[in-house]
Each structure stands twice: as C-alpha cells, then as structure tokens.
Amino acid sequence: MGRRRRKKESFAQKRLREEMEAGAALSTPLCPVCDDCGGCSWQRVPYSRQLEWKAQLIEESARDHQLELPEPCVVEPSPLTFQYRNHMEFSFAAKRWLTTAEIASGRDLERGFALGLHAPGGFGRVLDLEGCPLQSSRADEAFLVVKQFAATSGLPAWDARTHEGFWRYLILKRGHNTGELLVHVVTSRSERDLLSRLAEDVFARVEGVMGVTNGVTERVADTSEGAVVETIAGRSFIHERLGGLTVEVGPMSFFQPNTLAAERIVQIVKEFASSVPADRVIDLFCGSGLLGLSLAAEARTVTGVEVVREALDAAERNARLNGAQNVRFIQADLLRGWPSDLPQAADLVVCDPPRAGFHPKALRALIAMAPEAILHVGCNPKTQARDLATLMREGGYRPIRNAAVDQFPNTPHVENIVLLVKESGS
C-alpha cells in the first residue's frame, strides 16, 4: 500500500504555526468559528504582525523567481480590519459541519439545515453561522432574514452529495460609501412566488436594500457562477462611490471587495500611470471597469477586456454613468487566448488577473504586443512574481515602481501593484 503524501504547508500555515510555537502573544478572535472556518486564519495574529508577514510573502515570492523589486516592500494597512468586505458569498447545506468544539463536547447535536461558510478540507463542509464579522451589521441583518425564511420555507437546502435541494447560495453586496444593499439568492430552480415573499420580508426588515435577485442554476458543481439571473424586486444592482467614480455593481460582477483599500489602490494606479506614456490604455481582466475608468480622464482611449458578460454590461453602464466616452469594452476569456479585436498597440496595459495569474498564451500575446509599460495589480504574490519574471525575461521589461495594500485583513492575501517599463532596444 502506497504511503500518503503529506500536503505541503502553506506560507500562511507556516507563519501561524511558528508564531504559536514561539509563544507569541496572540489576539482573541472576534469570530467564534475562526479556527474552523479558515476564511480568516490570521485573526489571532496582531494586525501589525500580519502586515509584516504579507511583506515577507511578497519578498519571498519575488526571490523565488529571481525578481528584484525596485522599492522595499511595506504593506499599507486597511482602514478597517473587520466589517470591510462589500461582498460575501454564503452556501446553503442540508447538513451542517460541526465545529471542533462541538465535536469535542461529545454531545448529540442537530446537524440539519445550514447557511454559512465552508470549512477547509473538502466540499460540502458548511459551518452554520449567524453572520460574519467581515461584513457590515446591515449585511448581517439581511443574512439572518434570508436564513430564517429559507429554513422555514418547506424547501430543502442543497445536498452536495446527492445533488438535490433548492437553496444553494446567498450573495450579499453592500456599497460602503452609499449604504446600498443587494440580496442575491441562487437556487436550483425558479420559484418566483416564494422568492417574492422573501423579497417582501427583506425589504420590510432590512434598511438600505435596493434589490433582491435570483440566480437559477442546474449545475451540480460547487459554484454560484453561470446562473441565469432574474430580478425579483427592486433593481439588480447597487451603486458604490470610489476614487471620484460612481460604479454599478451587479450580483455576479467583480468589484474589489474592500472599498476603502480599493480607493488607495486606485490612487496608486493613477499615480504610477502618470509617470509613463498612457495615451492608449488597455485594461485586462477589467471586471466592472474600475481601473480603466479611473485612467480615462488622462487617456485618449481605454479598452477593457472581461469574460463575464454581466460584469461587462456593468462596465459599459459605468462608462456611461461617469461620462467616459473614450472607453470601450470587449468580451473575451484571457485564460484561453487573446481576443482578435483587441487593439494591436498600446502605451500602457493595466491588468488585474485572478489568483491563478495569466494563462501562458495570454502572457505571450501581451509580450508580442510590446506596450511601453505594464501595470500589474496582483492578488497572489506567487503567481504575480512568476508572471513578472516571464515579462522581464522574455519581454525585456523592468520594474520601476511597486506598492502593496492590504485588502484582506486577517487573511494571508495581499494586493501588490508593480509598474514595469520596456527596456530600450528590447
């Protein structure tokens, strides 16, 4: 019988273990299930120490790829360390996952209906929650209203093993600077009359709700993506104000999850872009268009590229909302290839890829385009360093500015912004 390979310890796990073994003073977690949830695995670590660790992660990732950053890495703190998220996704489950404390108690516990977040280690492990300290108190109120309604609706929550059940996901989006709230419920089929009653309940009991929407999906995979969206009551989006822009955010469109930290990221992007030619701008993985729109006032043209149709529609509305007539958007999956209708030349390419980073084909196409400068906004230092090393080695680029912002307090994630310019003659 073959020996099972032990899973390699992650940077986050290693740092937390070392801190605990050293007997360092740890913080008391605000969340009662933080040790079981895994979403905020660094809640016990003092915030100043978290920022140091994140800087180390960026520096270590750079060294792993023989990449030298031009400036010392100092991670700017998030203005809020709790209640900072403007977007949360929760899962329904027919059978809840017990916490470590509950298992240790030896008591016979009810394991029915659950709405909450996933415990690490496998699919279907949903911890039953009463809210989450990462989101606003108003979002917690909406969470409880939906949970109570669903639990007493007579329809079952989704069972990840049998692939049966009605209630699947709850997505809450709230504008930090506007107070607007969107409630999006994903189900396995349409039940408009039932969801209309839910919407009435939500509007009556929660202040600031702008809309209740329903996404219907028959997919058995553990994902809320791909659902057909219908507006049940109100409107299908919220507004948020950020960096001098007013943006529209729908139930499935990407938007930076920490509004206050994102404002600082936009400031850095504009500052870095002002130091290089930026007449023709391309914004890759543009989501709802935030970064590209923030540069539109100083550019002649901005072209955004995004795969999610709903996000692209929101980006186009955001351009109209902010009077940006020099901005256009293209739908394309950059993880599969390079769109043929993308401009063949650009002064500046801004990119904010997913955690997996660039697909090799897309990265090679970017190198072939040879823009004068590339502004990389990365949420994963490891894949960012890998992609930057390729741009330097194969494209002749050199990093000249870098800055890091903590968008995800109490987690090992961090946002790193790097500006690269093309070396003359390369």
Residues 184/249, Cβ–Cβ less than 8 Å? no
Instruction: Name the strand (E) or helix (H) holding 138.
Output: helix 137-151
**Cα–Cα dist 365/319, whole Å:** 27
At 400 the three-state DSSP class reads strand
Could you tell me the residue ranges of all domains in the chain? Answer: 59-80+251-422, 87-242
Question: How many Cβ atoms are within 10 Å of 172's Cβ, its own excluded?
Answer: 25
Strands 167-174 and 126-128, bridge-based pairing? unpaired
Top CATH class, 59-80+251-422: alpha beta
Is pLDDT of 196 > 90? yes
The whole-number pLDDT of residue 425 equals: 64
How do residues 68-89 score in pLDDT, each as one tens digit? 999 999 999 999 999 999 999 9
- Give 341's Cβ-side CA count (13 Å radius): 10
C-alpha pair distances (Å), 410 with each of 13, 35, 114, 407: 13, 12, 24, 10
C-alpha pair distances (Å), 425 with each of 372, 401, 422: 12, 21, 9
How do residues 5-55 score in pLDDT, each as one tens digit? 445 556 656 666 666 556 566 788 889 898 898 788 899 899 999 999 999
- Output the pTM of the full model: 0.89
Catalytically active residues are 379
Nearest to 310 by CA among 256, 249, 258, 352: 249
How do residues 270-321 score in pLDDT, each as one tens digit? 999 999 999 999 999 998 899 999 999 999 999 999 988 888 898 999 999 9
Query: 87-242 in CATH: which number?
Result: 2.40.50.1070
Close Cβ partners of 8 (under 8 Å, ≥ 6 residues apart): none
Nearest to 402 by CA among 268, 258, 230, 216: 268
- Average pLDDT, stretch 107-133? 88
The whole-number pLDDT of residue 13 equals: 60
Pull the structure tokens for residue 209: 């709700």
Q: What percent of the chain has pLDDT over 90?
A: 72
Pull the structure tokens for residue 123: 């699919």
Pull the structure tokens for residue 163: 């692939």
C-alpha pair distances (Å), 117 with each of 97, 136, 139, 185, 282: 10, 16, 15, 15, 36
CA dihedral 39, 250, 359, 337 (to 10 degrees): 160
How do residues 379-403 score in pLDDT, each as one tens digit? 999 999 999 999 999 999 999 999 9
| Residue 62 per-residue DSSP state | H
Close Cβ partners of 23 (under 8 Å, ≥ 6 residues apart): none
